[in-house]
Amino acid sequence: MHKLEYIKQFDADLKQLLSIDKKYLPIQKKLAVVLRGINPFFQTIDKEIQEMDDRFIQKSLQINRHYAENMENFQRSLNVLIHKNQDEIDKSQKVKNQKIHDLNHNLKLELENIEEKVNRIELESKEKLDKADQTLKRELGQIQKVMVDARKIYQDASLAIELEQKESTELLAQRYDLEMASIKEKEGLLHQDIEQRKLAIKEDAQQASKTNDESYLTIKNTYTQLSISVNKKINELKKKYQLTLQTLEKEHQLRLKPILDSIDELKSNYQIAQQKSLQVYTEKMSSLNVIFDIQKTDYESKKERIIHEGNDQITLLNSKLSAYRETTQKEKLSKSREIRDEIKSLENEIEKDKKNRDLTQMMNQFDSDLNKQIIRTNKDITQKKKDAQRKLFELDQKHLKEINEWRLKKVLYEYEKKQDFAKIDLNFNHNLGTSELLRKSEELTYQHQKDMLLQQHNLDLLPLEFQLSIAAAVQERELNLLGNDAHVTIAQFKHAEAIIDFELKKELLLLQLRRDLAKANYDIELHILNASTQLELEKEKSKRDFVLSEQELRIELSQAIYNKQKKSIQHDLATLMNEIDLERELVFLENKRTLDELKRLAHAEEIKRVFITNEGRYKHQQRMSNEKATRLLSTYQNELEHNQRMTENFFSTIFMLYQTDRTFKDALIELYHLPSHPEVFKGMIDYLKKQQESFLVSFYNIVESYQQFDQTFYIKKIEDLTGYKYMIKHEDMMNYYDSERSKVSDKRKLIEADIKAFENQFFINQAELERTDMHIVQLLKQIELTKVESKSDTKHQDLKELHKELSNKEHDLNRLKTVIQGFEKQMDKKHLQLTPLDLELEKVQKNQEKQEKKLEKEKHKEASVFYLYLNRNKKIYEALTKDIKVYIDSLLNFYHSLYNEVYVSDLFLKDKLKVLNVQLDLFERKLITHHQGLMNVMLSFYQKHEKEQQILTLGFRKSTAALVRSLDLSYQRQQGDLKTEAERMENEHKQYEKNVKIKAKKKGELEHITFKKSLIIDQRLLSVIETKISENTLRREAELKLISENQLASEQSYTHDLELKKTELQSQYDKSMQSIDQTIQNAIKNHASLDDSITNKNQAILAKYETNHQKSMATFKQKSDHLNEVIEKGKVHQETRLVDEMHLVKRMNEKREKELKNIQSHLQRFNHQTKIDQNVVLMKELKLLKKTHHSKVKMLHLT
């Protein structure tokens, strides 16, 4: 709590106020003691609060220390239990791992024995296969020797046939080349003759073209000389036109310059006239404003002087009244003392009564005289106020008239300025319009002169332009005729060249026919030679192929016999291997059964230890909850006691300030009864008013600080209550759902362990499968490589061994695939068992989220109940603040009443004290009520919290007991599940062992049946191969006969094709010759048609020239007439325009005179109307001023 800094200032003010007279000294000392005791009181309160805080903190530390020790002991006990059960779990895991290690060692020994047996059986089988393979290799060696001899015979015969073909081909090519060289020589001579004929035609064409060029130059030179002479005349006319135009421009500028100068002078005069008018207006307004400012200043000074004089007169009367009152009081006091002294000296009661009556009459007389003097003084003051108000009213009337006169002149000056500007604008616009009209007239006159000059110039140019156009038409006619003649000459030369080209094409077609016939003979003879050679080679190849195919069949026969022996050996080996695989599978099955039993026992022990640990945890949580509840109640009780002490201090402070106010109130009453000087009494009241305002702020600050402390306490406790309670509930809920999740997780771990075991076996077999698959791929590549590259005698034996190894690997591959599929099915089953567990986990999670939301809503709902206590506390403080405000306002009203009363009487003081005492008694009762209300809210809050804590503790105990029961039931259920799972796994192992034996038996029977079928197929294959060998000999004889027949038919076919080719070439040659003859006839016709067309074009050109000449003459005459007509119209229009401009100037002058008269009449009307309007405004304002004056007089009670 802070000290009141203003106390020292109040003490000094009080001392200064009451130090003017010694009789005030006791009161001043008493009040100074009260003031100087306020801040020490606050220091005492602060010290008590500090001591309470220290005690509160010590007790809180003691409670928390005891709680921490108990929690540490509980946690230590729980840790011991957890470590003990963990040690038991680790011990059981070590035993399980040792047993598994022994089991794996025994499994390894049994598998090694099985592998030794497998190696022995495979070795015996391999020896039998090697013996059969050696027999096959000897037979294959003999067959390969026969095949090599057949290939050698075929190679010799092929070389002889190919040599003969090469010699025949060279002879045919020599004959064909000689024929082609003869044809090429004839073609060269033909081209030389044609070129000489074309050169002669080209020289004649060049001579004709030179003659035409000379004619063209003559035509162009004649037209150029004529156009030059005509253009000289045209240029002379244009120069003359330009000189005349420049003369007109100079004359126009000389006439236009005075007009433009007058326009500029008008604009300058317009600006000067506006500035002068504005200057006159500004001078008038300035003088008007200066006069008005002087009047306004005079008005304000007179008003202040009247007010000041009135106040001085009233002050003088009050001073006289005060002096008279003091004199009366002194005389009254002295007289009363003298009479009282006389009364004390008298012994007769009658005389004493008489003296008392005399004293009373004398006191009454003094009071009567004083009252009369007060009444006279009040009348004088009223009269002075009336005089002052009357003078002010008269002054306001005069100033109001001055304001209206200023407004009227201001409006009139503004309108006069506006009219002056309008006159200036009117004159300026009229003069400017006249000048612009002159300028425009001059521009139009100048434009008319230019137009007339241009039309006359065009009329002079027209004959020369007509002469030039006639010359251009003659030139165009002569050039067109010359172009047509040149075109005819060029066409004749091209026609002659075309005839020569057609003759060349005929000779070239004949040479091409000879070339094509020679090429056809050469091609047919070459085809016949190639076909005969190819059929001879085919005959030799067929002989070789039949020998090789017979030997291949014999190889297949030997291979089939070998395969039959090999299958018999492999069948015996497979039967023994199936028996060994069954034995290995049974060993694996027994090992898995023992391993699953060890895992089940270890898991059962782990479940037992987890159950014991969880049970200990739940009991530990119950003990922790009880300890937390005990600590919370102890802490809250400590805080409640601390808060109650703070409330006591708060109300002690309020009562201290209240008693201080009462002491000062009593001191004021005592000061009145001294009696005190009125100024001192008023000063004391003013001092107490300031003090109460400061005390009100202090009251508010104290209430706010303690209210903040209480609100912080309640909010903290509400957060602690709801937070702790719902933390316990949340822990309870989390424990329940954790236990549910742990149940599902335990089931999931068991299934995942099984899946992991299956995955390990799956990956082992998968790796073995990949190695087997890679080995098979390598074997296939080796087989292909052996077939392609190997040429040794043991090739078939190598292939046989590779096929045997490939068959064994394929058998292993199929077995591994079957085993892997079994593991996949087991894993799929286990994964299907995981899906319901995932759904169950999701369901538990959703239920948990739903319960958490529900718990959060309950928390907010319960917190709202506790917030009711906070609101009750807040309302008490708000009511207390209002009561303090009412209490301070009652004191201030009391002081205001005393201060406003000129002379306080006993009766007036008694009435005001009565009203004040009622308020003070009411405030005391309300303080007690609020104090008790705060205590009751604290007590009720504590009782509510204690009840909630008991319910919470009981609920947590029940929930913990339910969790322990649930945990026990879960443990029993897990034990039952483990037993059921063990029985199920034992039944599955027995069933699987039975299925494995049945499957092995069926596989052996199936392989035996397959072996029998294979033997039958091999026997059939041997019969088929022997049949193929006999058929091969017959097919060789038939094929050789067919090749001989094909040789004869091929030669006949090529001879027939040659005859057809010759007939086709002769037909194409005849068609080409006919086409060339037809083209020559068309060229002759086209040349004749071109001559006729050129003749017709020349006649059309001459006719067109004559027509255009007649049109040009008519156009020349028409243009001349038009130009003369335009010149006449321009002159008439110019004369009409000048007459119209004269009439327009006259109308503008008349309009200006009329508008000037209108402006003057408007000015007179506006002045008259403005004066009338302003007088109306003045009367209204005077009327309003009178009403204001009467209202003010009534308000001041001066009527």
**Is residue 698 over pLDDT 80?**
no
| Mean pLDDT of the region 974-982 | 72
792 vs 696 pLDDT, higher one: 696
**Is residue 1122 over pLDDT 70?**
yes
Q: pLDDT grade, residue 238 (50/70/90)?
A: confident
Instruction: For residues 960 and 905, give the distance between their C-alpha atoms in angstroms, rounded to a whole number.
Output: 81
Structure tokens at 60: 């809180």
| Dihedral sign, Cα of residue 114, residue 119, residue 121, residue 122 | positive
Q: Which of 265-274, 318-327, 656-665 has the highest mean pLDDT?
A: 265-274
| Mean pLDDT of the region 641-669 | 80
**Is residue 862 over pLDDT 70?**
no
The closest alpha carbon to 978, from 748, 758, 747, 756, belongs to 747
Q: pLDDT grade, residue 37 (50/70/90)?
A: confident
Instruction: For residues 990 and 363, give the distance between their C-alpha atoms in angstroms, rounded to a whole number.
Output: 138
The closest alpha carbon to 410, from 291, 321, 284, belongs to 284
**Is residue 161 over pLDDT 80?**
no
1033 vs 249 pLDDT, higher one: 249
Q: pLDDT grade, residue 1115 (50/70/90)?
A: confident
| Mean pLDDT of the region 339-362 | 77
Query: Do 571 and 1003 form a contact (C-beta atoms < 8 A)?
Result: no
| Mean pLDDT of the region 639-668 | 79
Q: Which of 145-154, 261-270, 548-557 has the highest mean pLDDT?
A: 261-270
Instruction: For residues 744 and 729, give the distance between their C-alpha atoms in angstroms, rounded to a whole number.
Output: 23
Helices 349-673 and 25-36 pack at an angle, to 10 degrees, of 40
Q: pLDDT grade, residue 519 (50/70/90)?
A: confident
How far the first Cα of the chain sits from its last, in Å, is 57
Name every residue whose Cβ is closer than 8 Å to that of residue 245 and which is 6 or more positions away in sequence: 450, 453
Query: Do 886 and 919 form a contact (C-beta atoms < 8 A)?
Result: yes
| pLDDT for 714 | 66
**Is residue 899 over pLDDT 80?**
no
**Is residue 352 over pLDDT 70?**
yes
| pLDDT for 961 | 63
**Is residue 1017 over pLDDT 60?**
yes
**Is residue 863 over pLDDT 60?**
no
**pLDDT per position as a tens digit, 824-847:** 777 777 777 777 777 777 777 777
386 to each of 383, 397, 516, 834, 902, how far by Cα in Å? 5, 16, 155, 110, 21
* Share of residues in the chain with pLDDT > 70 (%): 90
Instruction: For residues 608 and 619, give the distance between their C-alpha atoms in angstroms, rounded to a whole number.
Output: 17
| pLDDT for 727 | 59
**Is residue 162 over pLDDT 80?**
no
Chain centre to alpha carbon of residue 414: 64
Q: pLDDT grade, residue 857 (50/70/90)?
A: low
- Burial (Cβ within 10 Å: 0-12, 13-18, ≥19) of residue 473: middle
Peptide bond just before 675 cis, omega within 30 deg:
yes
Query: Do 615 and 735 form a contact (C-beta atoms < 8 A)?
Result: no
The DSSP call for residue 22 is G
| pLDDT for 341 | 74
* Share of residues in the chain with pLDDT > 90 (%): 0
1001 vs 732 pLDDT, higher one: 1001
Q: pLDDT grade, residue 859 (50/70/90)?
A: low
**pLDDT per position as a tens digit, 167-182:** 877 787 788 788 788 8
Instruction: For residues 960 and 733, give the distance between their C-alpha atoms in angstroms, rounded to a whole number.
Output: 10
Q: pLDDT grade, residue 726 (50/70/90)?
A: low
| pLDDT for 120 | 81
Query: Do 870 and 715 form a contact (C-beta atoms < 8 A)?
Result: yes
Average per-residue pLDDT in the chain? 78
11 vs 1127 pLDDT, higher one: 1127
CB neighbours of residue 54 within 10 Å = 10
CB neighbours of residue 628 within 10 Å = 20
**Is residue 605 over pLDDT 60?**
yes
- Burial (Cβ within 10 Å: 0-12, 13-18, ≥19) of residue 621: buried
**Is residue 791 over pLDDT 60?**
no
812-833: string of b/e by CB count within 10 Å (b at 16+)? bbebbeebbebbeebbeebeee
**Is residue 233 over pLDDT 80?**
yes
For the stretch 408-416, contacts whose Cβ atoms lie closer than 8 Å and that sit 24 or more positions apart, written own/partner, are: 408/1170, 408/1171, 408/1174, 409/288, 410/285, 410/288, 411/1170, 411/1174, 412/1166, 412/1167, 412/1170, 413/281, 413/284, 413/285, 413/288, 414/281, 415/1163, 415/1166, 415/1167, 415/1170, 416/281, 416/1163
Phi-psi region of 576 (alpha: psi -120 to 50; beta: other; left: phi over 0): alpha
Chain centre to alpha carbon of residue 760: 50
The three-class DSSP label of residue 901 is: coil
Q: Which of 92-96, 116-120, 273-277, 1072-1076 has the highest mean pLDDT?
A: 273-277
| pLDDT for 321 | 80
**pLDDT per position as a tens digit, 52-83:** 878 878 887 887 788 778 778 777 877 777 78
| pLDDT for 718 | 63
